[in-house]
Structure 1
């Protein structure tokens, strides 16, 4: 339509489009400090022109065709991956740091120093075998060593339990956020299916996905409506835990043959399995019994705690082997002459670390500690004590290490593993910061730009209003001031 009424429609559309743009700029400014918000822009489209015979195309103005988020999906995906890796190594480093603290090396109160103290006690006993005080010193220092080892075992076992509890908490958080994402999927579909773009809901979706990636490595697929049509835990080759039909809970193996359903420590079920403690499983059901399928999680907080749990198990096994080897070496030498052991290692060979102690009879009566060789050692015979003294600095035929060196090797391996975790965490943090900076430069709100847009759109609005005022004056002249 041309003429005054056509001009009126053109100006009205111009006002509406610029009003929408002003409202969008105001929305951007209001959310300047909103975490996860992506700035929005109004996409304006030229209206289809009116073709007048003999004149040609006459412009009909503009319309706001859509309000779009300014995002780079590739950067967002990279940011999620980097965040997942960073959280993994950060949590692993934290747990291994606590293990390093419990090992307490180098230290004047650590195991290596206590081995040296025991060596000195046996050395003095070899030189003064008749002194009851020298015997008491050997017993007391050996008992202190056993106490130290048991205390360390208790601390490490407690750390193992805390790591498992953190995995359970991570699983609960994962399930909660997965449920939120499932609900969000429905909301996104409800809006998108009506032809609208749920920009703010898509921002919430992206924030949820980043939080979920911080808990475990995930792989996501989106449909044309903007929903997460498939989410896998454990990466691209992992297991599907969410699709457009709903979601599944993940659970945790919290103890031998025991699973914390949904990560809830108060909701446990018994399930025959040889899965390691801390394993993530997906819950499902058969007609007769619950079924759980193990999932490999390699990143995120859960992956970090799982990696730390495995390291702790290895260190515990190494420490148990070290203490067993040390105690049995002393026991063999002492038993060959005295007929009894020096250390009591308990009945479970896998828990020597928790059970070791000096045998009760020697603790009750240190004077009975044998120092010489033979059935009836000669007075002043300290040969047995001297032989045991030599064992402390004897290199093993297999690994060519003394007991102190072997323990130091265990501590060193943990230190190297923690240092690697620290280095990778620092590296990933650098990458993450760069990606977040790039994402912010693309999707973040620039106040100077928004204020400039406010001025630009407000001037355009006012100009279109002036056109309407001019047309109103023209219509007034046409209707009221012409005629007879």
Structure 2
């Protein structure tokens, strides 16, 4: 349409388009501190021109073609991967750090120091075999050693339990977020299928995917509407699909129980919902469970990153250190018992049904019954057995290690692994910060830019309003003053 009414329509469309742009800038400014928000821009397009005979084409203004998010999908995918790796090493470092505290080395109150004290007491008893206080010192120092061993073993066992609990909680959280993502898929489709632009819903989708990547390594694909059409957990090539538009949603569960291996799972990560499974798997294993059978059948899920993967990896290492610690304790007890039993006919150290070590109850009740010499009737002043046992603390085993060196090797293994986790977590955090900075530079709200846009769109709105006012005056002249 041409003429004054055509000009009026052009100005009206200009006002509407700039009003939409102003509203979008206001939305950006309002959400500048909203976590996960991506700035939006109104996409304007020129309206189809009007062909006027003898003149050519006349412009008919502008229209709002859509409101788009300013994002870089590649950067966001890279950020998810870096976040998953960082959370893996962060949790692994945290768990191994706790183990490091329990082992308490090097320290003046640690295991190695206590073994040194115990060694000294046996050596002194060998030099003073008839001295009652020397016998008491051997028994009491050995008691302190067994108390320390039992306490350390208990703390490491509790640490394993805490890690399994954390895996359960993370699995439950993971399932809740996948459920939320499934609901979000429906909301995105409802809006997009009606021609709407679900920008804020897509921001929420990306935030959920990042949260999920912090719990486990995931990979996802989206369809034309922006829905997550497929979500896999685990290795990107061989991962297990847990959400799809056709197959629905699946829940991950965690292998738990008192023993390892175990045949009990926390269904969906719910510690109050235990189910027996067919087969034995290590504690903390992530599985997909089919409860239509009794016992339930499961498919193991290989998680390699995220908090769940970090706790699983740490649990393996803590279990390995605990096995080595128990082997070390048994080696100390068996070596000393072998020498002491050969002369006294009984063990110096005993183990109860729970595996706790203690000094023979008879000796604890009466330290003077401690045998310190050799032979059926050792002579007075014979401290050869005590001297021999004292020498066992510095004697090297088949691997060329003393008691203290054996324990120190366990501590060292954990320390090296902890340091590697710390270093990798630090490097991954640097990568993550760089990617998040890059993402923020693309998708973040720049207040100076938004204020500039507000002024620009406001002036454009006012200019279009001025055109309408001018056309109105022209129409008034045309209608009321020319007599037309």
The interval holding the TM-score normalised by the smaller chain is over 0.9
The separation in 1 between residues aligned to 2:388 and 2:334, in whole angstroms, is 14
Is 1:388 the counterpart of 2:394 in the alignment? Answer: no
The separation in 1 between residues aligned to 2:87 and 2:373, in whole angstroms, is 58
1:110 CA drift (Å): 0.8
* 8 A Cα contact 2:289 2:297, kept in partner: yes
Equivalent residue number for residue 177 of structure 1? 177
SS in 2 for 1:297: coil
1:346 CA drift (Å): 3.6
Is 1:317 the counterpart of 2:319 in the alignment? Answer: no
Is 1:480 the counterpart of 2:475 in the alignment? Answer: no
Equivalent residue number for residue 198 of structure 2? 198
1:366 CA drift (Å): 1.5
The separation in 2 between residues aligned to 1:32 and 1:218, in whole angstroms, is 28
1:334 CA drift (Å): 1.0
What's the CA shift string for 1:64-118, capped at 9, x where partnerless?
1000000001111111111111111111111111111110111111110011001
Equivalent residue number for residue 296 of structure 1? 302
> Which shows bigger deviation, 17-26 or 278-287?
278-287
What's the CA shift string for 1:174-205, capped at 9, x where partnerless?
11111111100000011111122100000011
The separation in 2 between residues aligned to 1:158 and 1:297, in whole angstroms, is 23
Equivalent residue number for residue 251 of structure 2? 249
> Which shows bigger deviation, 47-56 or 111-120?
47-56
The separation in 2 between residues aligned to 1:359 and 1:339, in whole angstroms, is 12
Is 1:469 the counterpart of 2:445 in the alignment? Answer: no
The separation in 2 between residues aligned to 1:283 and 1:7, in whole angstroms, is 67
Match of 2:280 among 274, 298, 320: 274
SS in 2 for 1:380: coil
SS in 2 for 1:159: helix
Equivalent residue number for residue 3 of structure 2? 3
Superposed counterparts of 1:228-377, under 5 Å: 228-236=228-236, 237-245=238-246, 246-255=248-257, 256-286=262-292, 289-346=295-352, 354-377=355-378
Is 1:223 the counterpart of 2:229 in the alignment? Answer: no
Distance 1:374 1:250, change over 3 A: same
Equivalent residue number for residue 134 of structure 2? 134
SS in 2 for 1:169: helix
SS in 2 for 1:333: helix
The runs of 5 or more residues in structure 2 that have no matched partner are none
1:302 CA drift (Å): 0.8
What's the CA shift string for 1:393-448, capped at 9, x where partnerless?
01112x21111011011001101111111111111111111111111110010111
The separation in 2 between residues aligned to 1:430 and 1:288, in whole angstroms, is 48
Is 1:44 the counterpart of 2:44 in the alignment? Answer: yes
> Which shows bigger deviation, 416-425 or 240-249?
240-249
Equivalent residue number for residue 96 of structure 2? 96
SS in 2 for 1:195: coil
Equivalent residue number for residue 54 of structure 2? 54
Distance 1:132 1:287, change over 3 A: closer
* 8 A Cα contact 2:373 2:386, kept in partner: yes
SS in 1 for 2:230: strand
TM-score norm. by structure 1 comes to: 0.97
The separation in 2 between residues aligned to 1:379 and 1:31, in whole angstroms, is 89
TM-score norm. by structure 2 comes to: 0.97
Please give the root-mean-square deviation of Cα atoms over the aligned residues, in Å: 1.2
> Which shows bigger deviation, 410-419 or 236-245?
236-245
The separation in 2 between residues aligned to 1:226 and 1:283, in whole angstroms, is 29
SS in 2 for 1:44: strand
The separation in 2 between residues aligned to 1:222 and 1:117, in whole angstroms, is 65
1:286 CA drift (Å): 3.5
The separation in 1 between residues aligned to 2:156 and 2:145, in whole angstroms, is 16
Equivalent residue number for residue 22 of structure 1? 22
SS in 2 for 1:197: coil
Equivalent residue number for residue 426 of structure 1? 426
SS in 1 for 2:299: strand
The separation in 2 between residues aligned to 1:226 and 1:284, in whole angstroms, is 30
* 8 A Cα contact 2:278 2:298, kept in partner: no
SS in 2 for 1:274: strand
The separation in 2 between residues aligned to 1:290 and 1:184, in whole angstroms, is 30
The separation in 1 between residues aligned to 2:275 and 2:169, in whole angstroms, is 17
The separation in 1 between residues aligned to 2:54 and 2:117, in whole angstroms, is 110
1:8 CA drift (Å): 1.2
The separation in 1 between residues aligned to 2:437 and 2:235, in whole angstroms, is 25
1:289 CA drift (Å): 4.5
1:235 CA drift (Å): 3.1
